[in-house]
Structure 1
Amino acid sequence: MNIKNSIETKLQSLQPQFLEVVNESHQHNVPVGSESHFKVTIVSGAFQGKMLVARHRMVNQILADELAQSIHALVLHTMTMEEWFEKNGTRNDSPPCLGGSKSQ
């Protein structure tokens, strides 16, 4: 199973109303076909009443193995259904890669 599919499968435990996992590795200085940089947008009732940091901790705990072994960067957009509707079903784009130490 590839990493994107693993992320999608594991995050089903949060019973999301919306889940999008985007492999953004191609935007970074990594080999073609890499699965190292991801953006996750997840809308779930499990986030109700939780601060942003608590939501991110929930996701990070679920994806602990992937974060320890495969994922270099993970952008998280965690929302309740109400927040999702307030944003009209949108989320921010990821910033462009600056190339890490190569940008200096």
Structure 2
Amino acid sequence: MALPREQRVEAIRHAIEAALAPTALEVEDESHRHVGHAGAQDGRGHFRVAVVSTVFVGLNPIARHRAVYAAVGDLMTTDIHALSISARTPDERVG
């Protein structure tokens, strides 16, 4: 069952923190940018995450994305329509 819109960012944040122990994490709801998009009509949202975690050390970009998708799990079927991912190690952290 889908969460109320205002709780989705916090649910995504909690799921990623629990699974990946990030040293930095940004979660942004970008759903407002996709109003009218056919895929958003089911009520699920568009989100952007930037994750910095030691879990990503030694993983290629596809494996990093898979780890993030695994972390958010069922939210992909109930609350997330699209997820833009930046996944870096602490050594790769920009800024």
- TM-score, normalization: structure 2? 0.80
* Aligned: 1:27 with 2:36: no
Matching residue of 1:63: 72
Structure 1 contact 20–42 (Cα < 8 Å) conserved: yes
CA contact 2:13–2:27 (8 Å) conserved in 1: yes
User: How many correspondences in the alignment?
Assistant: 84
Q: Counterparts of 1:72 and 1:37 in 2: how far apart (Å)?
A: 6
Residue from 57, 74, 89 that aligns with 1:48: 57
- Any conservation in 2 of the 1:23–1:35 contact (CA below 8 Å)? no
**Residue 72 in 1 paired to residue 81 in 2?**
yes
Identify which of structures 1 and 2 has the higher relative contact order when contacts are C-alpha pairs closer than 8 Å and 6+ apart: 2
Whether the aligned pair in 1 keeps the contact of 2:30 and 2:46 (CA below 8 Å) is: yes
Q: Deviations over 1:66-103 (max 9, x none)?
A: 1011211100000001111xx32xxxxxxxxxxxxxxx
Match of 2:55, as an amino acid?
Answer: A
- Which structure has the bigger radius of gyration? 1
Partner of 1:102 in structure 2? none
- Taking only the aligned residue pairs, the percentage that are identical comes to 35
Aligned partners of 1:10, 1:63: CA distance in 2, in Å? 6
Greater share of helix: 2
Query: In proportion to residue count, which structure has more strand?
Result: 2
Q: Which runs of 5+ in 1 are unaligned?
A: 89-104
Tell whether the 8 Å contact from 1:17 to 1:44 is kept in structure 2 after alignment: yes
TM-score between the two structures when normalised by the length of structure 1? 0.74
